[in-house]
A and B are shown apart, each in its own frame.
Chain A
């Protein structure tokens, strides 16, 4: 019972990070029909930029408190990633807007390699220790469940950001223009909407969420390196597909469900496989889910419309 509750808590934590990243995939897909496979790298750039910023802060302002350090690190990483998202769209994807759908997909994979390579040149191939600014030692267990301050922070911050995004998309003029553009670029332009600007804004917002996710991810595990974006990126993509790609609520639900499945799977995989596999095989659950969803329910949990794009 303790294991079950513990794994549910762990699943919610990792799931909320997946959800934040999945939103970036699903927003871009919703408006362009493009799977931006470089989205995971944005997370990595966010984490490494934050790490770099923390290194500089240590030299120039060693007396700063941990929360102030974290705030400044985010204050640098988020705009850097937003700029990166903007440039990605502007330089790589915009000119392929009317190209056959394979071309932007391959380009996205190319952008992903490019960013990993640039990060490797800048930060090397080694694993870096990411400072544990928020304590990672568990608090007093509540009914046998251990939870750390950083985990609580992750869940709260993710929930706040998702709520903010929902308000933005559903209650503001910009959000309305994003939804209109997602439905029909031509008609949106007939309303006076600068479609290119709206698509740019979508990339920027998604990249901002990924930057926050990256910093939280690195804080939770205490490490950062040039390839750290790949696996969470792929899992968040799975989460977006699971929820119904193009659907914001679906990305959030998919992220949480994937986190839970993965965490529970890791907790029980030894029993499930009669001791053949251990918890280091937990990654297989994401891909089993991806396979099952694509075979049996390609529109995902919340997706009702069958899209022929991308």
Chain B
């Protein structure tokens, strides 16, 4: 397994365990994401991928292990403080504020940014990247299509100026053409230097885009390697690519 662990990790997860009552959903995983990397985490439904992201973002407490972000332990911080450190999560199901307008959603993304000029510049950048969002600023966000909501969720997360962007199933429930667009946006974001950890059920797509990948099964990481290696791995092909 060629993991070629990055020299300057943004995120280091060591022996992380997460439990829901008696059920241990994540059973001691190690995971590293280096600066500027796009890393994906794939696996079947119920493997613990969403739990892993939620725990990294601070929505769930750890039952064991540690999370280091830019070298500092963050696993005892609440979610809102981790966001301030630079960890942003686009949650499963997008987490749009459906009763707020599109612009208000974006401004919630910039909630922690005190510098008004920086916020306006960030908004301009998001509008340039997502022109469809710009056309709908005054609309109530619940009226957007699924794809637009996903775009909005990503744009909103970017406005917090994250150093690490966690994306949970951005392709979920979307038409193939829309998924393609979303992945273009993700690649643009990554190419601008934002470190990305992506959870996907669409393993083929994720491995094509990602530099490295982890495979998760029943709460454990069972495989790790470069995107190309994993794509070629017979076990991955059999289990996740339907071959």
Point out residues on A near B: beta carbons under 8 Å: 173, 176-177, 179-180, 183-184, 186-195
Contacts and interface: CB of A to CB of B under 8 A. Distances in A.
Nearest to A198: B80
A173 B104 CA distance: 10
A176 B109 CA distance: 11
A190 B111 contact: no
Interface string B85-105: 000110100010111100010
B80 A186 contact: no
Contacts, number: 66
B88 A190 contact: yes
Contact of B83 (A176, A177, A190): A190
A190 B109 CA distance: 9
Nearest to B105: A180
A190 B100 contact: no
Contacts of A192: 80, 83-84, 111-112, 160
A24 B156 CA distance: 31
A57 to B, nearest CB: 41
Interface string B48-70: 00000000011100000000000
Interface in B69-128: 78-80, 83-84, 88-89, 91, 95, 97-100, 104, 107-109, 111-112
Contacts of B91: 186-187, 190
A186 B59 contact: yes
Given A177-B108, A177-B111, A189 B78 contact: yes
A307 to B, nearest CB: 12
B107 A176 contact: yes
A195 B83 CA distance: 13
A302 to B, nearest CB: 14
A29 to B, nearest CB: 15
Nearest to B104: A176
Given A180-B100, A183-B100, A184-B97, A189 B108 contact: no
Given A176-B111, A191-B83, 17 more contacts: A177-B111, A179-B97, A179-B104, A180-B100, A183-B99, A188-B108, A189-B58, A189-B59, A190-B79, A191-B108, A191-B109, A191-B112, A192-B80, A192-B83, A192-B84, A192-B160, A193-B80
Interface residues of B, number: 24
Contact of B98 (A183, A189, A191, A193): A183
B80 A179 contact: no
Nearest to B109: A191
Nearest to A195: B80
Contacts of B57: 190
Interface in B121-176: 156, 160
B95 A189 contact: no
A111 B179 CA distance: 52
A87 B199 CA distance: 41
A176 B79 CA distance: 19
A111 to B, nearest CB: 26
B127 to A, nearest CB: 19
- 6 nearest CB pairs, A to B: A192-B112, A187-B95, A192-B83, A189-B79, A191-B108, A189-B80
Contacts of B84: 192
Contact of B111 (A179, A186, A191): A191
Contacts of B97: 179-180, 183-184, 187
Contacts of B98: 183
A176 B108 CA distance: 7
28 contacts: A176-B100, A176-B107, A176-B108, A177-B111, A179-B99, A180-B104, A180-B108, A183-B98, A186-B59, A186-B91, A186-B95, A187-B91, A187-B95, A187-B97, A188-B108, A190-B59, A190-B79, A190-B80, A190-B83, A190-B88, A190-B89, A190-B91, A191-B109, A191-B111, A191-B112, A191-B156, A192-B83, A193-B111
Contacts of B100: 176, 179-180, 183
B108 to A, nearest CB: 5
A102 B211 CA distance: 51
Given A176-B104, A177-B111, A194 B99 contact: no
A27 to B, nearest CB: 15
A217 B111 CA distance: 38
Nearest to B156: A191
Nearest to B112: A192
Contacts of B88: 190
A180 B80 CA distance: 14
A245 to B, nearest CB: 15
Contacts of A194: 78, 80
